[in-house]
Amino acid sequence: MKKIFDGFFTGLAWLSGLGVILVVTLLLGFLFLHGMKSITLTLFFGEIPWLEAITGQAPVFDGIWPALVGTALLVLLSSILAIPVGIASGIYLSEYASRRQRAFLGWMVDFLSGTPSIVMGLFGFAMILLLRKTLVPKAQTSLLLAAFCIALLILPYLIRTTQAAIEGIPEHLRLLGPGIGFSKWQNIRHILLPIAGRGIFSGIILAIGRASEDTAVILLTGVVAHAGIPRNLWDKFEALPFRIYYLAAEHRSASELEQGFGTALVLLSITGLIFLTVFFLQRRAEKWWQTR
């Protein structure tokens, strides 16, 4: 009987894995079929020469170049805000917090992770309304506000993956540092973090992926169509997820819909490039930690 159950669940696991691969393949095939022919310089820069667009000599209104820049800035800012806080919080929960603190703060983190993205967008919009009535009468939605709300959205991924990676280290490895006279922080820095590095970077990858694709948050915190490249952190901006949504909902011809499919391909390519970059940094960090 045990062999029958083992065989059943093994087959179910294989079918689930193959099903995921099949769905992803069909999705990518559909996007390539409908969007590949639209990936040209015109998709990125419209009728503006690419050199003038990149150097900022001429604004781009018909291409996705401003949305590409806006997405990159959004991911960069939200990562700068969230990654250090998330990793530090995960270290605190796993190594410094008492059992009662760990239970309470862990519940708060899980509650935050379950917050729908549209609610996080409403939170950012409510912050602007509060600031207008109190401290900053001219406050408005902006790139910085959107990055802050995205950072709150991805923070639980970073905290929980860091905590799980450190708590999953075997006890005999945890005792290496104290055995050679390391303090608690030295043990964390030189022993625990290098061992848990792969799990921590996995959380960073998940967080960056979420930051690059979310649409609901930015809809209420600063993204607009045809905003151009933001001049500062308090300016409106464009983003690729919103551009896809806008083209899908407001397209007036088949060519504009094809541009939406092409934009989706570009977003997937950028996300894959980010994942490869983080993976490369992870390998470099592991080698650096091993030499310390």
How far lies 99's CA from each of 92, 96, 163, 183, in Å? 12, 10, 14, 21
**Residue 170: how many other CB atoms lie within 10 Å:** 8
Domains of the chain, first to last: 39-291 (1.10.3720.10)
Report whether 225 contacts 246 (CB < 8 A). Answer: yes
pLDDT at position 39 is: 84
**DSSP-derived 3-state class of residue 152:** helix
Q: How remote is the C-alpha of 225 from its chain's centroid?
A: 22
Cα Rg for the chain, rounded, in angstroms?
23
pLDDT tens per residue across all 292 residues of the chain? 667 777 777 788 888 888 888 988 888 888 888 878 888 888 888 888 878 888 877 888 888 889 999 999 999 999 999 999 999 999 999 989 888 988 899 899 988 888 888 899 899 889 888 888 887 788 888 899 999 999 999 999 899 999 999 988 888 888 877 777 788 888 888 888 888 888 888 888 888 888 888 888 888 888 888 888 888 888 999 999 988 888 888 777 777 888 888 888 888 888 888 778 877 777 776 666 666 5
